[in-house]
């Protein structure tokens, strides 16, 4: 078990800066997910923690010890690769055993560890098979077993589920969460899939263009996005963003500096029965996606196209609808994209959101 | 029902009347006949190829079992009426054949082992690392591929002579201690191995030499076996180099011994000569049969998954 600290990390490839002054603390025993679009530097960060890549500047601490000059094998870190990276010429047993042999673990001890591990991940009958004779899910398990058997301080997983089909992915997701609970080890997990991040992580680090956008728990990330990027990255469909100036009837204090207003598709009400205080739009329904329990509508209004999601409600068949979002569910962002937490004159009675909107 | 929209699935065909029909039998029959014909042509072409390649061997084997007059019969007989096994004994007695075979074996196998020792680390370094002058050094290796032996045998001869290595095994081995072709072939194979495997073994605390021996080399085994075979055949069969670098029997090899049959027997004894040749190629054919699987693998499936 270990806490990981990244202090002032920079990474440059020749002239190109991939990561600029990254500061991050990964809590001991947490399931931390690094998430972001491809090229955001999340994999590079992970690889630097593992020691497969060297940072251009800054310090990496694992369990309070500086590991800048520690080779990967001695960092007490185990990694699961996206394509599993199993040794194809070795049997499953050989794959799991290789790291133990290199550490000089005795034969008897190795036997014991391997039988324990294969029990946990359910590989018992396959120990003497070669990886190419296994299914994708089984290979994934071998990769996990190979990492687990070393009993590392830190588990590093680089998009481990992206090569699996949807059904298996869901199953492995649950298994990984259970595994984390069982081992209590620090897990660092990289994915580009925000759904995976939200469902697995207890700590999510949203990255973009080599910088941390926000590091928080899933619910905080959803409810309190720090900026436009996280707001739009988390949630399916993404948060709807509009320019404040494009929306008629939304009164915003000019001095608040709010430039964008956003709301989540699931917070919008279609044709509300009672009048709603907040943002009101009229628009035409362009598309309807029905998933059974929920419906997703794409709606075009004068302020732009946006999505609305409803749960357990009948499908709206009308062409033209009125959409309302209460004040409490509106998010305001400045021109630079950072979220406005408080703005304008403080008033004990009203929330910050209403303050920006000028109260009602 | 909208037949026009459903015609795409291939099994059902839209008919103007609007009715659906199962795909009629005739086009299917025509297609399977065409496939059959193509297959037959393919097999015939392959058989022709086999014939072209196998004929010299069969001819050699057949001649080696004939009497001298029988070798001259026209039209030739493929299977001799009374196989003359004593031709082999006659060939064997024309010179110190056991000595030749030992020399050939010692030299080809030593070359092979030395080459493995040099080309594996070299190819690995060229494939996996960028170091000062790596590009230049690799192009130097490539350039040596373009220099024919006939161009350098004289300087090498003088060099070996200066080191007093003429007429020794070492003199026939050392010039081939490494192989540019081998380095090239192996480098390409190493480059195809995904980087993650190396990284995974680093995380598994494996040392560099262990990564090479336990992970990398087993993965390029087909390529390695193919190269080994090429090298072995080239040096087992080599006539020019041992002939030039030796002046007496001490280090001479089998091909020179076979060539001498002609001198000893006086030119026209094709049956004895062919018996000698069968002795020469037998080990190579055996090696091919043993390594067949790997060779095909190296050529057909030169990828790592």
- Residue A360, in any domain of the structure: no
Q: Which residue of B has its CA nearest to A77?
A: B203
Q: Which three-class secondary structure string do you get for chain A?
A: CCCEEEEEEEEEECCEEEEEEEEEEECCCCEEEEECCCCCCHHHHHHHHHCCCCCCEEEEEECCEECCCCCHHHCCEEEECCCCCCCCCCCHHHHHHHHHHHCCCCHHHHHHHHHHHHHHHCCHHHCCCCHHHCCHHHHHHHHHHHHHCCCCCEEEEECCCCCCCHHHHHHHHHHHHHHHHHHCCEEEEEECCHHHHHHHCCEEEEEECCEEEEEECHHHHHHCCCEHHHHHHCCCCCCEEEEHHHCCCCCCCHHHCCCEEEECHHHCEECCCCCCCEEEEEEEEEEEEECCCEEEEEEEECCEEEEEEEECCCCCCCCEEEEEEEHHHCEEECCCCEECCCCCCCCCCCCHHHHHCCCC
Residue B190 lies in a domain: yes
CB atoms within 10 A of CB A66: 12
What pLDDT is attached to residue B140? Answer: 93
Question: Rounded distance, CA A287 to CA A299, Å?
Answer: 7
In the block, tokens 């480059």 appear at B191
Q: Is residue B86 part of a domain?
A: no
- CATH code of B214's domain: 1.10.3720.10
Interface test with A, best of B130, B195, B205 (most A CBs within 10 A): B205
CB contact under 8 A, B215 and A83: no
In chain A, the residue whose alpha carbon lies closest to the alpha carbon of B201 is A99
Domain end, chosen from A224, A246, A261, is at A224
**Position B118 in a domain:** yes
Which of A276, A274, A286 minimizes the C-alpha distance to A324?
Answer: A276
Q: How confident is the model at residue A218 (pLDDT cuts 50, 70, 90)?
A: very high
Last residue of a domain, one of A185, A203, A224: A224
| Euclidean distance between CA atoms B225 and B298, whole angstroms | 8
ipTM of the complex: 0.79
Of A73, A90, A132, the CB nearest to B203: A73
Who among B207, B210, B219 is closest to A88 (CB)? B219
Last residue of a domain, one of A224, A255, A280: A224
Is-contact A236 A195, C-beta < 8 A?
yes
Residues 28-67 of A with CB under 8 A from B: 50-52
- For residue B214, the distance in angstroms to the closest alpha carbon of chain A comes to 9
CA distance A74 to A102: 11
Q: Please tell me whether residue B267 adopts helix, strand or coil conformation.
A: coil
At residue B7, the pLDDT reads: 39
Place of tokens 């699987």: B293
Q: Residue for token digits 């649950």?
A: A174
By C-alpha distance, which of A314, A235, A305, A239 is closest to A270? Answer: A314
Flag if A85 and B202 touch (Cβ within 8 Å): no
Say whether both A64 and A185 belong to one domain.
yes
Residue B69 is predicted with a pLDDT of 85
**Domain extent at residue B181:** 97-248
Q: Of A222-236, A332-346, B89-103, where does mean pLDDT reach its minimum?
A: A332-346
Q: Is residue A288 part of a domain?
A: yes
Chain B positions contacting chain A at CB under 8 Å are: 194, 196-197, 199-207, 210, 214-215, 218-219, 221, 304-305
Cβ pair B200:A81 closer than 8 A: yes
Give me the residue from A79, A82, A83 closest to B203, CB to CB: A79
H/E element, B129: none
Contacts of B218 (CB under 8 A, 6+ apart): A89, A90
Per CB-CB distance under 8 Å, the chain B contacts of A95 are none
A316: closest CA of chain B, how far (Å): 30
Question: If contacts are CB pairs under 8 Å, which of residues 91-150 in chain A contact chain B?
Answer: 98-99, 102-103, 132, 146, 150
A40: in domain: yes
Residue B38 lies in a domain: no
Whether residue A340 lies inside any domain: the answer is yes
Pair A163, A132: CB distance under 8 Å:
no
* Bridge partner list, A79: A156
Q: Residues 166 to 195 of A: which have CB under 8 A from any B CB?
A: none
| Angle of CA points A242, A244, A246, to nearest 5° | 75
Test mutation, B203, B212, B218, chain A, max A CBs within 10 A: B203
Cβ contact (<8 Å) for A52 and B199?
yes
A285 and A178 in a common domain: no
**Same domain for A189 and A244?**
no
Which tens digits make up the pLDDT trace of B237-258? 999 999 999 988 888 999 998 8
pLDDT tens for the 305 residues of chain B, in order: 344 444 344 444 444 444 444 455 567 778 888 899 999 999 999 999 999 999 999 999 999 998 888 888 888 888 888 888 988 998 888 888 899 999 999 999 999 999 999 999 999 999 989 899 999 999 999 999 888 888 888 999 999 999 999 999 999 999 999 999 999 999 999 999 998 999 999 999 888 899 999 999 999 988 898 899 889 999 999 999 999 999 888 889 999 988 888 777 666 788 888 998 998 999 888 888 888 887 777 766 554 43
Residues A206, A253: one domain?
no
Identify the residue among A43, A53, A89 best suited for mutation to test binding to B, counting B beta carbons within 10 A and taking the highest: A89
Q: Hey, how many other C-beta atoms are within 10 angstroms of the C-beta on B20? A: 14
What distance in Å separates the CA atoms of residue A117 and residue A119, rounded to the nearest whole number? 5
Does residue B127 contact residue B187 with C-beta atoms inside 8 Å? yes
Among A79, A88, A102, the residue with its CB nearest the CB of B205 is: A102
* B202/A79 CB distance under 8 A: no
Per-residue pLDDT at B25: 56
**Which of B164, B28, B202 shows the shortest CA–CA distance to A70?**
B202
Together in a domain, A257 and A215: no
| Contacts for A321 with CB less than 8 Å, ≥ 6 apart | A270, A271, A282, A283, A284, A285, A299
- Structural contact between residues A142 and A96, judged by C-beta atoms closer than 8 angstroms: yes
Residue B234 covered by a domain: yes
pLDDT tens readout for residues B82-110: 888 988 998 888 888 899 999 999 999 99
Alpha-carbon distance B262 to B268, whole Å? 7
Name the token pair of A108: 């008897």
- pLDDT value of position A285: 93
Bigger pLDDT: B26 or A172? A172
Q: What is the CATH number of the domain that holds A204?
A: 3.40.50.300
Q: Do A83 and B194 touch (CB under 8 A)?
A: yes
A vs B, Cβ pairs < 8 A, gives 65
Are A226 and A214 spatial neighbours (Cβ–Cβ below 8 Å)?
A: yes
Structure confidence by residue, pLDDT tens digits, A267-297? 999 988 888 888 888 999 999 999 889 999 9
| Mean local confidence (pLDDT), A11-39 | 90
Q: Is the dihedral of CA B122, B128, B132, B135 positive or negative?
A: positive
Closest CA to A200 of A174, A224, A181, A219: A174
Q: Are residues A246 and A216 in the same domain?
A: no
- The position carrying tokens 């949807």 is A166
The per-residue pLDDT for range A81-123, each reduced to its tens digit, is 988 899 999 999 999 999 999 988 889 999 999 888 888 888 8
Q: What are phi and psi of B227, to 5 degrees?
A: -65, -45
Nearest C-alpha in B relative to A147 = B204
Tell me the chain B residues in contact with residue A103 when contact means C-beta distances shorter than 8 Å.
205
The answer to whether A83 contacts chain B (CB < 8 Å) is yes
Rounded to 10°, the helix B25-63/B270-300 angle is: 140
B142 within some domain: yes
Same domain, A280 and A177: no
Contact call for A52 and B205, based on CB within 8 A: no
Domain assignment of residue A339, yes or no: yes
Q: Is residue B196 part of a domain?
A: yes
Q: Band the pLDDT of A358: cuts 50, 70, 90.
A: low
Query: In terms of domains, do A308 and A219 share one?
Result: no
For residue B300, the model assigns a pLDDT of 66
Q: Domain tally for chain B?
A: 1
A214 and A241 housed in the same domain = no
Average pLDDT taken over every residue of chain A: 87
Q: Does A79 touch chain B (CB under 8 A)?
A: yes
- What tokens appear for B170 in the block? 């070492």
One domain for residues A319 and A261: yes
- Compute the Cα dihedral for A253, A254, A255, A257 and give only its sign: positive
Does residue A245 share a domain with residue A220? no
Which comes out higher in pLDDT, residue A162 or A248? A162
In degrees, rounded to 5, the angle at the alpha carbon of residue A143 between the alpha carbons of residues A97 and B298 is 80
**Is A198 in contact with A222 (CB distance < 8 Å)?**
yes
What pLDDT, on the 0 to 100 scale, is given for residue B261?
83
- In-domain check, residue A229: no
The domain tally of chain A equals 2
Contact at CB, B205 and A103, closer than 8 angstroms: yes
Q: Bin A192: left if φ > 0, else alpha if -120 < ψ < 50, else beta.
A: alpha
Contact B199 A72 (CB under 8 A): yes
**Domain check: are A26 and A169 in the same one?**
yes
Q: Is residue A360 predicted with pLDDT exceeding 80? A: no
Q: Do B219 and A99 touch (CB under 8 A)?
A: no
* Domain enclosing residue A176, as ranges: 4-224
Measured in angstroms, the CA of A200 and the nearest CA of chain B are apart by 24
CA distance B202 to B196: 10
Structure tokens at A80: 């699961």
pLDDT (tens digit per residue) in A123-164: 888 889 999 988 888 898 899 899 989 889 999 999 988 888
The tokens for A245 are 């100036």
């Amino acid at each position: 078990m270990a806490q990981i600290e990244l202090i002032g990390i920079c990474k440059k490839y020749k002239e190109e800066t991939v990561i600029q002054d990254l500061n991050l603390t990964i809590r001991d025993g947490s399931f931390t997910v690094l998430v972001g679009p491809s090229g955001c530097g999340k994999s590079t960060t992970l690889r630097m923690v593992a020691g497969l890549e060297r940072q251009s500047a800054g310090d990496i601490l694992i369990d309070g010890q500086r590991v800048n000059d520690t080779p990967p094998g001695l960092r007490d870190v185990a990694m699961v690769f996206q394509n599993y990276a199993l040794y194809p010429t070795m049997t499953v047993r050989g794959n799991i055993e290789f790291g133990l042999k290199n550490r000089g673990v005795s034969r008897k001890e190795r036997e014991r560890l391997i039988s324990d591990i294969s029990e946990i991940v359910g590989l018992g009958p396959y120990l003497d098979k070669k990886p190419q004779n296994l299914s994708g899910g089984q290979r994934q398990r071998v990769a996990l077993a190979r990492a687990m058997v070393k009993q590392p301080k830190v588990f590093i997983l680089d998009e481990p589920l992206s090569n699996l089909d949807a059904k298996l992915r869901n199953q492995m997701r649950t298994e990984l969460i259970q595994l984390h609970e069982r081992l209590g080890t620090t897990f660092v997990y990289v994915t580009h899939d925000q759904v995976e991040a939200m469902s697995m992580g207890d700590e999510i680090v949203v990255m973009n263009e080599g910088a941390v956008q926000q590091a928080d728990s899933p619910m905080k990330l959803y409810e309190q996005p720090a900026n436009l990027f996280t707001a739009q990255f988390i949630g399916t469909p993404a948060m709807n963003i509009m320019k404040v100036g494009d929306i008629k009837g939304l009164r915003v204090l000019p001095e608040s500096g709010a430039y964008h207003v956003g709301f989540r598709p699931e917070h919008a009400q279609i044709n509300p029965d009672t009048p709603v205080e907040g943002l009101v739009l009229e628009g035409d329904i362009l598309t309807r996606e029905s998933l059974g329990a929920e419906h997703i509508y794409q709606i075009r209004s004068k302020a732009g196209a946006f999505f609305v999601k409803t749960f357990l409600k009948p499908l709206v068949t009308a062409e033209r609808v009125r959409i309302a979002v209460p004040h409490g569910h509106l998010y305001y962002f400045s021109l630079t994209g950072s979220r406005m937490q408080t703005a304008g004159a403080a008033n004990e009675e009203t929330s910050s959101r209403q303050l920006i909107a000028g109260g009602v | 029902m909208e037949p026009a929209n459903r015609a795409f699935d291939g099994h059902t065909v839209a008919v103007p009347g609007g009715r659906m029909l199962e795909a009629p039998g005739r086009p299917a029959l025509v297609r399977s006949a065409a496939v059959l014909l193509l297959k037959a042509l393919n097999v015939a072409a392959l058989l022709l190829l086999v014939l072209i390649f196998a004929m010299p061997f069969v001819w050699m084997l057949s001649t080696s079992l004939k009497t001298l007059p029988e070798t001259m019969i026209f039209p030739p007989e493929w299977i001799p009426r009374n196989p003359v096994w004593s031709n082999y004994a006659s060939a064997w007695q024309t010179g110190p054949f056991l000595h030749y075979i030992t020399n050939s074996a010692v030299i080809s196998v030593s070359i092979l082992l030395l080459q493995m020792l040099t080309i594996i680390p070299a190819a690995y370094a060229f494939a996996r690392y960028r170091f000062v002058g790596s590009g230049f050094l690799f192009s130097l290796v490539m350039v040596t591929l373009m220099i024919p032996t006939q161009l350098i045998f004289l300087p090498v001869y003088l060099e070996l002579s200066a080191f007093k290595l003429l007429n020794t095994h070492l003199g026939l081995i050392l010039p081939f201690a490494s192989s540019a072709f081998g380095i090239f072939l192996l480098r390409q194979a190493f480059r195809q191995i995904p980087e993650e495997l190396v990284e995974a073994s680093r995380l598994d605390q494996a040392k560099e030499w262990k990564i090479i021996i336990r992970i990398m080399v087993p993965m390029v085994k087909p390529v390695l076996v193919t190269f080994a075979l090429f090298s072995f055949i080239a040096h087992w069969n080599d006539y020019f180099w041992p002939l030039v670098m030796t002046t007496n029997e001490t280090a001479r090899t089998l091909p020179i011994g076979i060539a001498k049959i002609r001198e000893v027997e006086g030119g026209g004894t094709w049956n004895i000569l062919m018996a000698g040749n069968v002795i020469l190629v037998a080990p190579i054919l055996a090696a091919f049969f043993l390594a067949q699987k790997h060779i095909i693998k190296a050529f057909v499936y030169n990828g790592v998954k």
